[in-house]
Amino acid sequence: MSDYRLDTICVQSGWRPKKGEPRVLPIYQSTTFKYDTVEQMGRLFDLEDSGYFYTRLQNPTNDAVAQKICEMEGGVAAMLTSSGQAANFYAVFNICEAGDHVVCSSTVYGGTFNLLGVTLKKMGIDCTFVNPDDDLETLEQAMRPNTKAVVAESIANPALVVLDFEKFAKLAHSHDVPLIIDNTFPTPVNCRPFEYGADIVTHSTTKYMDGHAMAVGGCIVDSGNFNWEAHAEKYPGLTQPDESYHGITYTKKFGKAAYITKATSQLMRDLGSIQSPMNAFLLNVGLETLPLRVEKHCSNAQKVAEYLNAHEKIASINYAGLPGDKYYDLAQKYMPQGTCGVISFEVKGGREAAVRFMDSLKLAQIVTHVADARTCVLHPASHTHRQMNDEQLAEAGVSPGLIRFSVGIENPQDIIDDLEQALKAV
Ligand SMILES: *Cc1c(COP(=O)(O)O)cnc(C)c1O
């Protein structure tokens, strides 16, 4: 299947019905699965046979959708999670434990910033945030002997920083640790991080992948490229026997599937952030049209960005599709087809002007969401980044007046007309 091109994979991959089975991916709305003998089910618990037994660990609907995303990214194994937050948590926690350390770009999504900076810290995993625009030499200073991963976003939400993949891959690999990339914003339609050195990719499928704002979900994909065995002392969880499964060693038994198998059989078993099969079904419907929607989001966003860029009431704008944008060259290099539909900008007059402008919008509605079919808008300093102080906001690339504008797939002129009337109000 993976010989097909991406738009074909989006429609055809994942669920492959056998004779007489439903053409459309069925929702396996069942917590449990039946076996004929005690021995058969026993072998599943030993990881000796693969098969379904309880939906907290695996479900056929979920696995079909994970397989599709795996092929879209060009990976070897993937799993769905209940949310993007769970995906990023599992991606890191699968290879880190108390006493370990990660290095993370400071411009990551606010939820990831809190996860790594606050919650994982309480679990004994330390994080150093780095400015993704720093040169390699400066970034190197954050790496420690106990660093186990480097984490970043391909396009940062909402700072819209385009990652210098080559630099970050070098940073991670010269210290023998994997590069984990949250690829939510460009999606594999516009960027496939494995081609640029990423080892693990995560997604909040809640965004463009679902695309209709119907289902919260996440996904982790493994490229299969990172050699855990070569750095066995750093990753004992993958390379040493797991006593909770009668002493199997994941890298020995599962080869390139070791990382995802461990995340499923340990983290899903113990933490249980499985995606519901109903949500996986909705996600799959979204994936079928993802390439069409992403193209339209990007062409609409380009028009909106050009309109705003030329407007006298706009103080600044971030959109990597604009020549002159700080990240234009990186975007051309890593995502030449387009970046995403999200733009951020400031209206002249700072925080108060931003609030007045946003309250005047009609078509673009204020929601906490981003990256779905309907144009929507959010004020990060008042909303997603509300917990941050001004210094942290600056580090995250979020100024107090910044507006995050998620361009939908409506007619672009209607979106521009709405902006025009709201800008008249400030
Ligand atoms: C939204 C988002 C998340 C969190 O995902 P949820 O599905 O909301 O848990 C993580 N990373 C990025 C880049 C996001 O935009």
Residue nearest to atom 7 of ligand 1 (CA): 84
- As a whole number, mean pLDDT of residues 383-392 equals 81
Nearest to 201 by CA among 176, 226, 219: 219
pLDDT tens per residue, range 283-295? 999 999 999 999 9
- As a whole number, mean pLDDT of residues 239-259 equals 93
pLDDT band at 400 (very low <50, low <70, confident <90, very high): confident
Cα of 384 vs centre of ligand 1, distance in Å, is: 11
pLDDT (0 to 100) of residue 27:
98
Is it the case that residue 183 has pLDDT exceeding 90? yes
pLDDT tens per residue, range 18-41? 999 999 999 999 999 999 999 998
Q: Which two tokens stand for residue 147?
A: 């660093």
Q: Which residue has the tokens 């463009």?
A: 208
Residue nearest to atom 2 of ligand 1 (CA): 204
Residue 54's CB: how many other CB atoms inside 10 A? Answer: 15
pLDDT tens per residue, range 98-149? 999 999 999 999 899 999 999 999 999 999 999 999 999 999 999 999 999 9
Q: What are phi and psi of 331, to 5 degrees?
A: -65, -40
Q: What's this model's pTM, rounded to 2 decimal places? A: 0.96
pLDDT (0 to 100) of residue 63:
98
Apex 100 CA angle, 96 and 105, nearest 5? 85
pLDDT (0 to 100) of residue 96:
98
Beta strands per DSSP E along 254-357: 314-318, 342-347
Rounded Cα distance between 406 and 297, Å, is 9
pLDDT tens per residue, range 314-335? 999 999 999 999 999 999 999 9
Is it the case that residue 397 has pLDDT exceeding 80? no
Cα of 232 vs centre of ligand 1, distance in Å, is: 31
pLDDT tens per residue, range 135-173? 999 999 999 999 999 999 999 998 899 999 999 999 999
Cα of 115 vs centre of ligand 1, distance in Å, is: 11
Domains along the sequence of the chain with CATH: 6-285 (3.40.640.10), 291-423 (3.90.1150.10)
pLDDT band at 389 (very low <50, low <70, confident <90, very high): confident
pLDDT tens per residue, range 341-383? 999 999 999 889 999 999 999 999 999 889 999 999 999 888 8
Q: Which residue has the tokens 């979900």?
A: 217
Apex 58 CA angle, 237 and 66, nearest 5? 90
Rounded Cα distance between 71 and 224, Å, is 13
Rounded Cα distance between 132 and 232, Å, is 28
The per-residue b/e assignment along 267-303, b for 16 or more CB within 10 angstroms, e otherwise, is bbeebebbbbbebbbbbbbbbebbbebbbbbbbbbbb
Rounded Cα distance between 120 and 158, Å, is 22
| Average of per-residue pLDDT values in the chain | 95
Q: Which residue has the tokens 């929507």?
A: 376
Q: Provide the sign of the torsion angle of the four alpha carbons 135, 137, 138, 142, taken in this order.
A: positive
pLDDT (0 to 100) of residue 50:
86
Instruction: Look up residue 201 and give its amino acid.
Output: V
Rounded Cα distance between 199 and 195, Å, is 10
In the chain, the largest separation of any two C-alpha atoms, in whole Å, equals 74
Contacts of 164 (CB under 8 A, 6+ apart): 132, 133, 330
What stretch of H or E contains 377? Answer: strand 376-378
Cα of 215 vs centre of ligand 1, distance in Å, is: 12
pLDDT band at 2 (very low <50, low <70, confident <90, very high): low
Cα of 124 vs centre of ligand 1, distance in Å, is: 23
pLDDT band at 246 (very low <50, low <70, confident <90, very high): confident
Instruction: Look up residue 389 and give its amino acid.
Output: N
pLDDT (0 to 100) of residue 286:
98
Rounded Cα distance between 363 and 253, Å, is 54
Strands 77-81 and 218-222: antiparallel
Q: Which of 207, 276, 282, 344 to mutate to test the pocket of ligand 1 (most atoms within 8 A of CB)?
A: 207
Residue 378's CB: how many other CB atoms inside 10 A? Answer: 24
- Is the peptide bond between 336 and the residue preceding it cis, with omega within 30 degrees of 0? no
Q: Which two tokens stand for residue 79?
A: 């799993």
Whether 92 contacts 263, CB under 8 Å = no
Whether 170 contacts 136, CB under 8 Å = yes
pLDDT (0 to 100) of residue 46:
83
pLDDT tens per residue, range 217-226? 999 999 999 9
Residues with CB under 6 A from ligand 1: 83-85, 88, 109, 111-112, 153, 157, 182, 184, 204, 206-207, 216, 218
